[in-house]
Amino acid sequence: MSTPPFSPAEARAARLRLGMTPAQVVAAMSQLGVDRPPEAVHAWEAGAVPPSEPELLALADALWCPVPVLMAVRPGTLREHRLARGFTTERLALRIGMDPYAYARAEAEHHWPGTDRQTLLLADALGLRSEDLLDLLDRGTELVGVLRQAVEGRWKAHVPALADLAQADERRVAGALRTLHREYTRFDERYMGHLVARNDDARLQEIAADRAAWLRALPARFRTLIGHGP
């Protein structure tokens, strides 16, 4: 799973407002079951490495800071809305009566398989109106579809549509798609190279698995590149 959006500057500002040292921060986090050394706080604040989801939630609690402040983005995906409300995937799945694996997969694949009751419970948990949640889910599904078409084909033609769906500047979207298309093309080049060399099936399957993982993380990668992520 990709790391959540995170602002090193906001994290440092929140800690300094409280007058806490990194050691005090990790001590507070350890009470929530997240044990990390003080060096981890230095790394997060320096932007060297972003925190994971559990680390982000524990850090926000330790700093008495709303999670959205540390994310420094306006929630635009189901995952970001979940994090903004302080839910882990397991807790939210339990609250709406859904299998945690099924919920996590729905977030990753941007496809909502929930029942009407689960949808209503999800909207309530996230503090959204049902119609706003459904619009969010629909836009997420459409965004993934257009992104896939863009990286697999002529990406320039999809810039306006993606800029509208992501509510982002077209120049940023164009730059992101150029990068993503180049990354995706490398998978094809690797695959064909090994195919021509007649390497064993295991190597080809490894490349196919790498591409599948890259495609699952595509929406998060896109949002990062256009400046809506870490």
Cβ-based neighbour number of residue 120 at 10 Å: 14
Condensed to tens digits (0 to 9), the pLDDT of residues 15-56 reads 999 999 999 999 999 999 999 999 999 999 999 999 999 999
Our count of domains for the chain comes to: 3
Asked if residue 173 and residue 115 are part of one domain, the reply reads: no
Q: Final residue of a domain: which of 71, 86, 114?
A: 71
CATH number, domain with residue 20: 1.10.260.40
Asked if residue 78 and residue 54 are part of one domain, the reply reads: no
Average pLDDT of the residues of the chain: 86
Q: In angstroms, rounded to a whole number, what is the distance separating the alpha carbons of residues 105 and 113? A: 10
The secondary structure of 165-218, three-state, reads: HHCCCHHHHHHHHHHHHHHHHHHHHHHHHHHHCCCCHHHHHHHHHHHHHHHHCH
Q: In angstroms, rounded to a whole number, what is the distance separating the alpha carbons of residues 4 and 7? A: 10
Structural domain for 216, as ranges: 145-225
In a domain, 156, yes or no: yes
In a domain, 135, yes or no: no
Condensed to tens digits (0 to 9), the pLDDT of residues 63-76 reads 999 999 999 888 88
Q: What pLDDT does residue 230 have?
A: 43
In a domain, 170, yes or no: yes
